[in-house]
Amino acid sequence: MLATLLINASFIGMMFAEAPQTNNDLKALEGEWIYVEDRTPDRPLEQMGAPMSSKFGFAVEEGVVILVRGHGSGNENVRVLLDGKATDVPAESNTRVARYTGGWKDGEFTYRTDFIKTADNSPDGYLHKVFVPTADGLIVKVSSSYSPGSVSIGLYRHVQDIPMPTPFKATIADISWLSGSWVGTRGATGAIKIEERWGPASGGAILGVSRSVSNGRMTAFEYLRIVEMEGGLAYVAQPGGGAATQFVLTELTSSKAVFDNPRHDYPKRISCELSSDGKLTATVGYAVGGTPRKYLYTREGS
């Protein structure tokens, strides 16, 4: 198997060595890319999702593409040479080496990551990624030794090229049914208690806070608010008190609200729905496909 790997690596090196080294077209790779949609043929709706990280970045220098972030190996700023020469990066507490080889040819940037066990220098799988700049965005194709014969395909765009949805017309009074103290659990055993507390609808806003508690200690918190904006409503989330992310109201009934932000990596959609028995379900995930995360709450004291 090692001999086969070395032969393949040699062939890849020869192929990439023939690739043009100009930066003109490569510059189309630069910047941060956000997942837009799954384009894998015949993929079931529930299996749809990003073929790699929902957000990643590239930088380009002469003869080099830099993997800035989001490329999966836990390493940032990996320099992939376009002449077929390998770049080795320690991976997983130095038990493996991630070996990057790449090239640019016929309008496609390709790189492969071979994982090599440091104990005996034996192969331990690979990832193969192809990036194709198009007028519609960046097409990404991912295959690996871990899923033989399977290729995942997705479309990514720069943030400024992703349109935001048209806001649904509403006022803060239209979502007053969300106000209250809600409690629930998550995890396979329900050991993690989660709380969401939403104040009254007043002054064009509802203010909220969320907290997760495990083994008697707070493990996560989030500042929340829903505010009137541009004739509609925006859901504003600050996990851990960090930077705010806005989601635009796109659907509203007397018991359900859906907020979308296609420019966010994940989640892209947040929905809240009040059932006929008074329970609240919060759902986060992609706008289309995938397996969303659902959280079930009951009113505190009920």
- Read off the DSSP letter of residue 202: B
- Comparing CA positions, the residue from 210, 209, 208, 215 lying closest to residue 187 is 215
Fold of 172-299: Lipocalin (2.40.128)
Q: What is the pLDDT of residue 24?
A: 65
Q: Tens digits of per-residue pLDDT, 15-32?
A: 334 444 445 689 999 999
Q: How far is CA 23 from CA 32, 59, 151, 185, 293, in A?
A: 18, 11, 28, 52, 42
- Cα 159 to Cα 186, 237, 253: the distances in Å are 32, 19, 30
What digits encode the pLDDT tens for the residues 234-252?
Answer: 999 999 999 999 999 999 9
**b (16+ CB within 10 A) / e for 161-172:** ebeebebbebeb
Question: Tens of pLDDT along 149-187?
Answer: 999 999 999 999 999 999 999 999 999 999 999 999 887
Q: Strand 269-274 and strand 280-285: pairing? A: antiparallel
CB atoms within 10 A of CB 242: 10
For the segment 249-284, what is each residue's pLDDT rounded down to a tens digit? 999 999 999 999 999 999 999 999 999 999 999 999
Q: How far from the centroid of its chain's Cα atoms is residue 12's Cα?
A: 30
DSSP state of 94: T
How many percent of the chain have pLDDT more than 90? Answer: 83
User: So what's the pLDDT on residue 269?
Assistant: 98
C-alpha to C-alpha distance for 196 and 182, rounded to whole angstroms: 5
- Select 2-158's CATH number: 3.90.950.10, 3.40.190.10, 3.40.50.740, 2.40.128.20: 2.40.128.20
Same fold, 2-158 and 172-299: yes
CB 148, CB 170: distance < 8 Å: no
Question: b vs e for 217-230, b when ≥16 Cβ sit within 10 Å of the residue's Cβ?
Answer: eeeeebbbbbbbee
The answer to whether residues 282 and 271 touch, using CB atoms and an 8 Å cutoff, is yes
How long, in residues, is the chain? Answer: 302
Q: Is the pTM of this model over 0.75?
A: yes
pLDDT 10s digits, 37-57:
999 999 999 999 999 999 999
Q: How far apart are CA 86 and CA 89, in angstroms?
A: 10
Instruction: Give the model's pLDDT for residue 23.
Output: 57
Query: What is the dihedral sign for C-alpha 162, 166, 172, 173?
Result: negative
pLDDT at 188: 73
Question: How many angstroms separate the CA atoms of 282 and 252, rounded?
Answer: 14
Look at the alpha carbons of 65, 68, 71, 75 in this order and tell me if their dihedral is positive or negative: positive
* Percent above pLDDT 70 for the chain: 91
pLDDT digits (tens, 9 = 90+) for 98-144: 999 999 999 999 999 999 999 899 999 999 999 999 999 999 999 99
Structure confidence at residue 156 (pLDDT): 98
Domain boundaries, the chain: 2-158, 172-299
Which residue carries 């490569």 as its tokens?
A: 26
Q: Judging by beta carbons within 10 Å of its beta carbon (0-12, 13-18, 19+), is residue 191 exposed, middle or buried?
A: exposed
More confident residue, 226 or 189: 226
User: CA–CA separation, 105 vs 109, rounded Å?
Assistant: 7
